[in-house]
Amino acid sequence: MALDENIVVLIGGVGGAKLALGLAQVVAAERLTFIVNTGDDFWHLGLKICPDLDTLMYTLSGLVDPETGWGRANDSTAALQSLATNYGFEPWFRLGDKDLATHLVRTDLLRRGHTLTDATACLTERLGIRSRLLPMTDAEMPTIIETKDHGALGFQEYFVRHRWQPIVTSIKHKDCRLAQLTTAARHALRNADIVLIAPSNPWLSLAPILAVPGLRAFLAGLPLPIVAVTPIIGGAAVKGPTAKIMSELNIEISAASVANFYRNMISGFVDDCRNEAFTANGLRILRADTLMTDLSAKTRLAREILAWIKGWTR
């Protein structure tokens, strides 16, 4: 099924990339744009690392490590091992040798004065990706995790170094007041027929995107379907810290809480058929199997969501 709608997806890392891959099977590549979280980005060993952009890039180009869902398949870690053995660096953040090539090229482009939007376009073009991957902003807007026992942690310190174990007390978006939605992202949203919010972690991956000044109001004013997909399945998160963080922030662990987080912005919500059914004023709800265990399940879900939304206008 080739669709003639322009689809824009707001998206984070591994969880969201599954739906992205499904969408890529049913939507023409040029009609698919991803606005990607950059709150996880950081500078490490002099390199600019953009994990969510990388995860999506590697997923869509078929290069991703299927075991982890991030990084490159069949990668080695010779450089990292040498950094540890010869130079005493603590190898807490696993950068594979092939993956390093991406960070080197991106960092070089940024140092030559290109924006992250341009650098990403260069990388995706070289990897043969025809959909657009757009960072939400070209400014640096790192997510800071305030924790009970470890103080304020940079996102990757919290997520990778501490394996998301510290108790989260609040989440901040450093320098968000200085950030702007990129022109390319604004243009994509103005030309969209449907906006989807991927089943990424709402608090870690979508909140940074929505923290870009004016974006929530801009989305709320768009006269088109905006539909979020639940990351909560069977009352829990498939993988990762979504449910843990909800509990630490005193938010009930349910799909209804996720829908409530996107309130005033979404017109539809895709809930998992395993969750307890809920209703919310004026919100259309599709109950579907959102687990996406393999490519056919990803494709089926993408097709089902888009057919459902198209049915609204019929």
By beta-carbon proximity to ligand FO1, the closer residue of 203 and 269 is: 203
Q: Least distance to ligand FO1 from the beta carbon of 55, Å?
A: 6
Contact of 144 with 211, CB cutoff 8 Å: no
Q: Least distance to ligand FO1 from the beta carbon of 309, Å?
A: 26
By beta-carbon proximity to ligand FO1, the closer residue of 155 and 283 is: 155
- Ranked by CB distance to ligand FO1, the top (closest) residue is 13
By beta-carbon proximity to ligand FO1, the closer residue of 75 and 193 is: 75
By beta-carbon proximity to ligand FO1, the closer residue of 120 and 156 is: 156
Amino acid at 66: P
By beta-carbon proximity to ligand FO1, the closer residue of 31 and 72 is: 72
| CA 159 to the chain's CA centroid | 15
Q: Least distance to ligand FO1 from the beta carbon of 200, Å?
A: 8
Q: Least distance to ligand FO1 from the beta carbon of 14, Å?
A: 5
By beta-carbon proximity to ligand FO1, the closer residue of 131 and 205 is: 205
Residues of the shown chain interacting with ligand FO1 in the complex, contacts defined by CB under 6 A: 12-14, 40, 49, 51-52, 54, 70-71, 93-95, 99, 156, 159-160
Q: Residue 244 is encoded by which pair of tokens?
A: 């843990």
Q: Least distance to ligand FO1 from the beta carbon of 28, Å?
A: 27
Q: Least distance to ligand FO1 from the beta carbon of 49, Å?
A: 6
